[in-house]
Structure 1
């Protein structure tokens, strides 16, 4: 039985018939839906058959990278009316649903694409000077300059604002970097690493585009992960790496500038968390519709239907939250507490939703034959990255009370 069984008349052409219960998709234009349909066709046809095997092997299906790039998703010409290499982004609601579509298929694919389209692009958009943007942004958009956002360190995650220990020392026209970064997804295939380091002279945070193959750069793959197994995360060591001043992001001169990037990027993670819920919900619904127990369809039991309703409630609330946040940001309203609340709440809902999906699939819910196992495991990484639950809660609490409860 297809997922479209109970769709309202006239909704057959919608992309998100079941998982978008309140029809947020109606905010998309026809062109935007067609681009997303192109993405969905590729994911269904080329990506889905590979996911279980590559997840188990802990490898990224690199054969998907170039075809995914060639889909022209970041700035599609039919949405921007240009060749796609300008710096005027497609609408935020389209970008959100692009993340949603990737994540409802696989969290690693969403994280991989968003590392370029979200994190690295934001680093250039916010941190680069106008001259640097003119040079680099077209190459970011067409992926001819691939980069990753390298902020987290081995001993500093949540406390990175005060604990960042990678150093940058000015030496003539160059900077010399020492330190280490950890959990940097996609670093092994990037051209440059957007590295954040503390200026020895003034103690302020600066940012640099570091050639991945420069002398003194060493990358090690992080093994034995139980979440986002396809995403290749790296531990990076920087030992006397020389970077020219021209490769410093000229608009990053303190951690406040980094915080402006994080403020914009957290909404992407909230969309990923929402997409994961959609994928888990759809997988669980397929399972209970096709499974028989005690001589009856599993979907006919009251407790099963109650769990499905809770999952749909979580998903619908999360999608409403990220859509509203995206609409605010489209009007230029960017507040730390807004993106923090969306990330915090969507991830709380995600955790319950994937757990319920795994429950509904019973013992089959822990095998890769059922998609719910992959969503269940991958959700744990998304729950923590781009700000833990506690850190985001404190950002919201600070806005509510006017008092900072962060450890000093």
Structure 2
């Protein structure tokens, strides 16, 4: 019996085979598939600068990031050695002009977000939190001194930012947040708690929103890493965006000097200026994820054989692949039009919300079809689809859940707000 247990123990200790050896019929996502989803030649709608952004981001993501993502996703760890590669993309700061930022068009910034998400949704979320939330808040609502002080290093990813709005009791109803800011000599004291804050476990600066105890309005503050009274703990056991380090933030009498109060945030509506732009960017994440899944399935179905024929030869598989492709063409055009509306000054909150809600819903269908097409390999992160399937779930919910975004658009087209439940009264029954 002892000898048997020893043999079993030694066998249990063997490492898993490399997926290329264990399943040589199909190439894993560490060697990323070529792009195959631009069926309606969307690329023709881009200007030379936007095409150059797409090419650069695609090349870096495929060659430098794709080979390592599965390992870090499995460990739920952030690949800090990838930050210089992500910095080399030159997209942090997005549409912000000056201060070392790229000053991209809205469409150029959105395409960059999609191309990063095509290879890895977690990296895309990391950049969007840093760039389209933290940096954009400083760019839109900060003083000139704050822009000069913080944006250049953030643009180079020498420092990292996060954006702290959501609280344990207030997600979709974030305007009701309870974190407080109390005026004291020379600054402000923040007390409260934030939850689900991406990048927060290692961010150098935290954009924190709190309720001014004097005015009862929402104000914004720049809190520095290591500030006395600030503590951040990692949220464990996520099934999606596992590489992103979401945290619980505790603020216990954290002092913020006057120079780090964002003068452009005087009420909750000021956060909406940032959310409107970031919601456009988030609407492009499902596009990128869907493109990556389609590209993977397109290659896999031609490589993998059953009954002597490639899986691509089977009718049902072709129908699913075409349905995925159709979704992507429609999502691309919605995203493109959304950017054009923003650039022309015509975009409304309802436009942004509909784009995010509809694209994330169509992406959900697309990645589900991809998971079906890969069969058993559809639950292995090595072939991208399982990872993308899980990563899309938090994206479906953040930056406004599907339902809340639908209600934002619903309010705009009907003129009737339906967010809060009716006050319960006595039943007439």
Q: TM-score, normalised by structure 1?
A: 0.91
Structure 2 residue corresponding to 1:42, chosen from 17, 41, 60: 60
Q: Give the distance between the partners of 1:316 and 1:185, measured in 2 at CA.
A: 30
**Does the aligned pair in 1 maintain the 2:92–2:130 contact within 8 Å?**
no
SS at match of 1:47: helix
**Does the aligned pair in 1 maintain the 2:280–2:355 contact within 8 Å?**
yes
Q: Give the distance between the partners of 1:55 and 1:102, measured in 2 at CA.
A: 15
The corresponding residue for 1:153 is: 167
Structure 2 residue corresponding to 1:363, chosen from 368, 376, 395: 376
The corresponding residue for 2:125 is: 111
**Does the aligned pair in 1 maintain the 2:99–2:148 contact within 8 Å?**
no
Aligned-residue offset at 1:71: 3.6
**Does the aligned pair in 1 maintain the 2:93–2:131 contact within 8 Å?**
no
Q: Give the distance between the partners of 1:26 and 1:245, measured in 2 at CA.
A: 49
SS at match of 2:262: coil
Structure 2 residue corresponding to 1:56, chosen from 52, 57, 74: 74
Aligned-residue offset at 1:286: 1.4
Structure 1 residue corresponding to 2:239, chosen from 222, 226, 230: 226
**CA distances 1:174-221 after superposition (whole Å, capped 9, x unpaired):** 100011111111112211100000011111000000012100010101
The corresponding residue for 2:190 is: 177
Aligned-residue offset at 1:16: 8.4
Q: Give the distance between the partners of 2:377 and 2:35, measured in 1 at CA.
A: 26
SS at match of 2:251: strand
The corresponding residue for 2:10 is: none
Q: Give the distance between the partners of 1:60 and 1:137, measured in 2 at CA.
A: 23
Structure 2 residue corresponding to 1:67, chosen from 70, 85, 90: 85
Q: Give the distance between the partners of 2:334 and 2:328, measured in 1 at CA.
A: 10
Q: Give the distance between the partners of 1:50 and 1:86, measured in 2 at CA.
A: 29
Q: Does 1:133 align with 2:151?
A: no
SS at match of 1:229: coil
Structure 2 residue corresponding to 1:308, chosen from 296, 311, 321: 321
Structure 1 residue corresponding to 2:204, chosen from 186, 191, 196: 191
SS at match of 2:194: strand
Structure 2 residue corresponding to 1:280, chosen from 266, 289, 293: 293
The corresponding residue for 1:247 is: 260
Q: TM-score, normalised by structure 2?
A: 0.87
Q: Give the distance between the partners of 2:225 and 2:51, measured in 1 at CA.
A: 36
Q: Does 1:25 align with 2:43?
A: yes
Q: Give the distance between the partners of 1:134 and 1:211, measured in 2 at CA.
A: 16
Aligned-residue offset at 1:111: 0.6
> Are residues 297 and 65 of structure 1, via their aligned partners in 2, closer, same or farther at CA, if it must alter by over 3 Å?
same
SS at match of 2:59: helix
Q: Does 1:384 align with 2:403?
A: no
Give 4+ residue runs of structure 1 displaced > 4 Å after superposition.
none
Unpaired segments of 5 or more residues in structure 1? 3-14
Name the stretch that deviates more: 149-158 or 26-35.
Answer: 26-35
Name the stretch that deviates more: 183-192 or 355-364.
Answer: 183-192
Q: Does 1:217 align with 2:235?
A: no
**Does the aligned pair in 2 maintain the 1:58–1:229 contact within 8 Å?**
yes
Name the stretch that deviates more: 136-145 or 398-407.
Answer: 136-145
**Does the aligned pair in 2 maintain the 1:175–1:243 contact within 8 Å?**
yes
Q: Give the distance between the partners of 1:335 and 1:32, measured in 2 at CA.
A: 24
Aligned-residue offset at 1:258: 1.0
The corresponding residue for 2:109 is: 95
**CA distances 1:327-346 after superposition (whole Å, capped 9, x unpaired):** 11111223110100000000
**CA distances 1:302-338 after superposition (whole Å, capped 9, x unpaired):** 1111111111111111111011100111112231101
Q: Give the distance between the partners of 2:156 and 2:383, measured in 1 at CA.
A: 35
**CA distances 1:241-272 after superposition (whole Å, capped 9, x unpaired):** 00011101001000010122111110111011
**Does the aligned pair in 1 maintain the 2:92–2:101 contact within 8 Å?**
no
SS at match of 1:189: coil
Count the aligned residue pairs. Answer: 392
Q: Does 1:143 align with 2:157?
A: yes
Q: Give the distance between the partners of 1:382 and 1:371, measured in 2 at CA.
A: 16
The Cα RMSD (Å) is 2.3
